[in-house]
A and B are shown apart, each in its own frame.
Chain A
Amino acid sequence: MSSTLMRTVPALRAAARASAAKPAAAAMGTSFVRGKATLPDLPYDYPALEPYISGKIMELHHKKHHQTYVTGLNTALETIEGAKSKGDLTKAASVAPLLNFHGGGHVNHSLFWENLAPASREGGGEPDGALKKAIDEDFGGFDTFRKQMNTALAGIQGSGWAWLVKDKQSGTLGLVTRANQDPVTGNYVPLMGIDAWEHAYYLQYENRKAEYFDAIWNVINWKTVASRFDKS
């Protein structure tokens, strides 16, 4: 199984890189077929992130949770289309929270899968090149950045995400958290996200979420993050 993956992954990865010109839009773009959102394939096998994230978590997270956001997004878009065609703008506007939630869930998870990789391959370690330089400048070093990101993750009250972002105007890096499935939009380009919903770790880590936040650094795909950084 894993040898099959080894062969297919470079192609997937190249495709992901080629379409990563605008990260958020690319994640949506690659998974839209004829105007419908579809669940993107994972660029690795479900157990590939073990022992840091269990295969069972990955399978449920991808096949069930992400699929639910995809389905919910398509339903929201259909409702908006239907309302629009009847000129019912109030009805169309009332779908906004569902569009934000499911659309955000789809975008966030699509970015998340891509910024993870097995520890035996691209996962873990530290970034190099221009991204390393930017992290050193803006956070005072990788260790400080990592600590700040973990503090941000631990501080999320409820469900949400933490992101390493690049400010479009100033070009500087920063950390932001988002509640629930609110996507990173506006002035920020999302470079690397960590899912802090309980479904992302509970089967393996239960209430010990700090252990999950420590472990996930072993499977961060810095190549993807660097490529998002370079292209933004």
Chain B
Amino acid sequence: MVYFGFLTQLLSVQIPLEAVSEEQYNTTMAAATYTLPSLPYAYNALEPSISAQIMELHHSKHHQTYVTNLNKALQSYSAATASGNVPDQIALQAAIKFNGGGHINHSLFWQNLAPSSSPDSKLEAAPKLMAEIKATYDSFDRFKEAFTAALLGIQGSGWGWLVKEELTGLRIVTTKDQDPVVNGEVPIFGVDMWEHAYYLQYLNGKAAYVQNIWNVINWKTAEERFQGTREEAFKVLKSQL
């Protein structure tokens, strides 16, 4: 069991990013470089809900690509800022949002999953959140139905999130592609609905993927995020700097 806050801090200090050449690195020291967080469980730990092959590709390839391209975009952005190149700065914003969103979303996602054998994956691990879910959606089953419908209604690639908003309380939101939930709400847990998240195991049967993901939601993490602030939910990203 590896907790990635500590590990990634260590990694980012000792190991230069493979995606960044030394030359690039030296000329753009001003830009932050992010690293791929380690998973808090083994690749096969979420079986049979999510296969080890999916987890390995998803983490070591897909998430890594977002991290690599985020770093590239941030380096170009900092060079454009240094040289006062406003058109380039504007042009780079889409890449920063997409790849930064991909990094944020996947980092939150890994943490809000847990092996079904773990007590963290039991509803009892989130007593306060469950009370709020029942108050908002009448019952957990009604919430589950609503969340499932939202996930299956996504047209194309995207994510479904349960979020906490300061004024309105709990809300289910869907986001397209890698748009992150960064508008002030606290992300409690998210589900990746890109085809790469389930295709090797479930093929076109995404409803079965959604049904099975309920077995591996980390309710302990969800409870912590529900009781915490936005900054605390995103803390995992800071530790990867």
Binding site for B on A (CB under 8 A): 60, 64-65, 68, 97, 101, 157-160, 179-181, 197-199, 202-203, 206-207
Of B35-43, B117-125, B155-163, B215-223, the one with at least 4 CB within 8 A of chain A: B155-163
Task: List 8 tightest A-B contacts by C-beta distance, closest first.
Answer: A158-B177, A180-B156, A198-B195, A158-B157, A159-B156, A207-B61, A64-B204, A159-B157
Provide 5 A-B residue pairs closer than 8 Å at the C-beta atoms, listed in order of the A residue.
A157-B94, A157-B177, A158-B157, A159-B195, A207-B65
Given contacts A65-B204, A68-B204, A198-B194, 20 further A-B contacts (CB under 8 A): A64-B203, A97-B155, A157-B98, A158-B156, A158-B157, A158-B177, A158-B194, A159-B156, A179-B156, A180-B155, A181-B156, A197-B156, A198-B199, A202-B195, A206-B57, A206-B61, A206-B200, A207-B57, A207-B65, A207-B196
A198 to B178, CA, bound (A): 15
CB distance from A65 to the nearest CB of B (A): 6
Is B62 in contact with chain A by the CB < 8 A criterion? yes
Binding site for A on B (CB under 8 A): 57, 61-62, 65, 94, 98, 155-158, 176-178, 194-196, 199-200, 203-204
A68 to B178, CA, bound (A): 24
* Residue pair A60, B204 in contact (C-beta under 8 Å): yes
CB distance from A60 to the nearest CB of B (A): 6
Q: Which residue of chain B is the closest to A72 with respect to CB atoms?
A: B155
- Chain B contacts for A197, CB-based, 8 A: 156, 195
* Residue pair B57, A199 in contact (C-beta under 8 Å): no
CB distance from B66 to the nearest CB of A (A): 11
CB distance from A88 to the nearest CB of B (A): 21
* Residue pair B178, A157 in contact (C-beta under 8 Å): yes
- Chain A contacts for B196, CB-based, 8 A: 198, 202, 207
Q: Which residue of chain A is the closest to B64 with respect to CB atoms?
A: A207
A199 to B205, CA, bound (A): 11
- Chain B contacts for A101, CB-based, 8 A: 155
* Residue pair B57, A158 in contact (C-beta under 8 Å): no
Q: Which residue of chain A is the closest to B99 with respect to CB atoms?
A: A157
Using known A-B contacts A68-B204, A157-B98, A157-B177, determine if residue A203 contacts B199 with beta carbons closer than 8 Å.
Answer: yes
Q: Which residue of chain A is the closest to B95 with respect to CB atoms?
A: A157
Q: Which residue of chain A is the closest to B199 with respect to CB atoms?
A: A202
CB distance from A162 to the nearest CB of B (A): 15
Q: Which of B176, B177, B195 contacts A199 (CB 8 A)?
A: B195
- Chain B contacts for A179, CB-based, 8 A: 156
Q: Which residue of chain B is the closest to A180 with respect to CB atoms?
A: B156
- Chain A contacts for B203, CB-based, 8 A: 60, 64, 203
- Chain A contacts for B195, CB-based, 8 A: 159, 197-199, 202
A68 to B206, CA, bound (A): 12
Q: Which residue of chain A is the closest to B156 with respect to CB atoms?
A: A180
